[in-house]
A and B are shown apart, each in its own frame.
Chain A
């Protein structure tokens, strides 16, 4: 019989100055050795709940606290953050800010050294080893990639040997492939060391695959706490809380099979077992037919080579002899692993930097012949982190900066129109930094639109967004065609590639290894593997079932299995055409 490790009794909490309780009458038991996922919409107090487990509430955040929380038999009210941190480790959503020391080893040793523990060296080494990042020990924290930084943050709390580990939205700041690595490690910690894992998560794909039980938070209280097998069957309820079911479950449901697969493999097995076969009429050509030749070239890179100096003084080449033409009407997804040169190529195509060798043409202009602020009128580049683009005191001022400074005759009307278009009119006077992640993305999109460029280049527009904000941005991108002639998106988000792009360029080892329609890319496992890309679940299901051409959405899979007649128009196209492409 498992022992409860965390017991919450009649807990209510109100932040100082707030006019209502964040947590209301929470009763909850978490058993030792469980792998719990806390899900729920924005503002459902998931993070607040988790902060009561390590004593930050009530000892750091003083507010109105009623009820009790016991962790490993200790009443948190009578304890302290110091004492509780020996039991509970916490990895933040913005884990970059949690790293306080210059090198990885120092960072991991920080806790044990502060507590003056004699075995601090052994704790540090074993934490690094458990997570497989021993070779990073001497690195500076600012040199780490997102995934490595997350593992470092994880190691630094692990070095304090907690019995409970809380990880707040690991997927938010990481691409899916790296997030999967984190989840694998968490699963190992749970299985081999018996550490109780609590994660906060939006992505049901990960929940379904790794969690043992699920807590659904709604309005500051748990709606239910159920074993995973039961939790994933309640798709309707989840949908109502803004948590869409994973594609594997939707795929099975769309084919009318009653099963709740937790992984892609389960879904494939369930579909196979049902004896259904893809229709011979399935052609999936709706997408392929959209390519018409002889369209205008809006930007062109000719034999471009570029690289950077590193701190040690060597030149590290990122792009080698790259040639690419961007056409009118292209919706380009630029994909490839970290460091493959996506951002560099985009900055070259925007004329922000000039290549070491080769030429970039923006329309008829050689990018070397004009200063970058001139070229910004032709090609606008939107940075990955919205907060670095929010330069003014309000969203409206930020959007107006470009047209106003360049004396656009009708700036006010233009700004009003654009804000309306990205649905931020109500937030026009707010400081962009106080907006939610999704709103911030839309604000940067508005900034880009106000530049009225021919080519719009966006760096990771859907990263660190929850599922519904993500879909929002995807739809807005699809809606751009009317005003932007060519859009380029650098992304790790393969679902965005599948649903939005009509052309995908794969960068790897300094060159372009594929330049084709997404369907073609997802149909070639060798290219995916070479570029370290993971196709969306639905594509993997389609490939495993041998559906060719491979379906890019659940609706397409359903169409492929639709026995009679030509398939209905796939959803992605349906969405875009509805938005006036």
Chain B
């Protein structure tokens, strides 16, 4: 029997993506200056690559987990992350076993998994907290080209619309295709059909978007988009609101102190340096 589902449905995925993109859940980092959030992220994303010490990496991983908690990352992203981590672990052991590796191979792979995990956690925390405008303004503040910063915010503006269109096209395709009579082992026939339709659904969406972009480009031209790229005043106005507060510095300082602490702790109890 079919039932209405509020979670794990297409509608839910859509809402989750929108919530993630627009930082609607709030959290610590969403109240900070976006420039500091980006720098904070860069620190956490770079540091793990300077060590092979598993203790330190585990510590950084924990820091990542705490940040994710503070940033209030939603269930969809977390779920995908945890799923990825489990698959990865599983794969590490299979790979080590199949290719005749020993503990050393496993450790090397675990190290990589931990590094990637710590970086992913920091990315989730940072980008869930930055709504499109803030991210694009931070990039503009770091003197990235206007084309790229505008692209980021325009991409976000289009995201909900594209998701909506995708859902409609996919639904239409499914209704108009023959239903799968025999689902097969673990429903593989069903899954194959879904994958096929997902790919096919992109075709009409690309064409529709291409068709609608003409108006967008004309409108950008008429509203001084290319003018602003030459003239610097627009950039100044746009960035005038950015302020680094005590809170920003404090978060950065605490993070640096914690990282130093983790490294110190790792030096005391090193694991497979």
Contact = CB atoms under 8 A, between A and B. Distances in A.
Interface of A: 54, 56, 60, 81-82, 85, 90, 92, 94, 96-103, 106, 110-111, 113-116, 120, 140-142, 156-157, 160, 306, 308-312, 315, 352-356, 367-374, 376, 381, 383, 385, 387-391, 401-402, 405-407, 431, 433, 447, 451
Contacts of B175: 352, 372-373, 376, 381
A102 B157 contact: yes
B2 interface: yes
B234 interface: yes
B223 A110 contact: yes
A369 B1 contact: yes
B196 to A, nearest CB: 12
Q: How large is the interface on B (under 10, 10 to 19, 20 to 34, 35 or more residues)?
A: 35 or more
B224 A391 contact: no
B160 interface: yes
Taking chain A's interface residues, is the majority helix, strand, or loop, or is none over half, making it mixed?
mixed
Contact of B223 (A114, A308, A372, A385): A114
19 contacts: A82-B224, A85-B222, A92-B219, A99-B157, A114-B228, A115-B231, A116-B234, A142-B164, A156-B223, A368-B3, A372-B175, A383-B172, A388-B204, A391-B169, A391-B176, A402-B176, A406-B178, A431-B207, A433-B207
Contacts of A85: 222-224
A100 B22 contact: no
Contact of A56 (B2, B218, B223, B238): B218
Contacts of B208: 387-388, 433
A114 B227 contact: yes
Contacts of A97: 212-216, 219
Candidate in B201, B215, B236 with the most chain A CB atoms within 10 angstroms: B215
B99 interface: no
A391 B200 contact: yes
Interface in B1-27: 1-4, 6, 11-12, 15, 18-19, 22, 24
Contact of B219 (A100, A102, A376, A383): A100
A454 to B, nearest CB: 15
Contact of B237 (A116, A142, A433): A116
A528 B133 CA distance: 43
The 4 closest A-B pairs by CB, nearest first: A116-B233, A114-B224, A373-B179, A114-B228
Taking chain B's interface residues, is the majority helix, strand, or loop, or is none over half, making it mixed?
helix
Contacts of B160: 140, 142
A406 to B, nearest CB: 5
B154 interface: yes
B88 interface: no
B4 A98 contact: no
Candidate in A90, A111, A115, A388 with the most chain B CB atoms within 10 angstroms: A388
Nearest to B131: A102
B224 A383 contact: no
A309 B215 contact: no
B31 to A, nearest CB: 17
B12 A309 contact: yes
B237 A401 contact: no
A356 B4 CA distance: 6
B52 interface: no
B21 to A, nearest CB: 9
Contacts of B238: 113
Candidate in A141, A368, A387, A431 with the most chain B CB atoms within 10 angstroms: A387
A353 B4 contact: yes
A274 B165 CA distance: 54
A160 B172 contact: no
Contacts of B214: 97
Candidate in A141, A371, A381, A391 with the most chain B CB atoms within 10 angstroms: A391
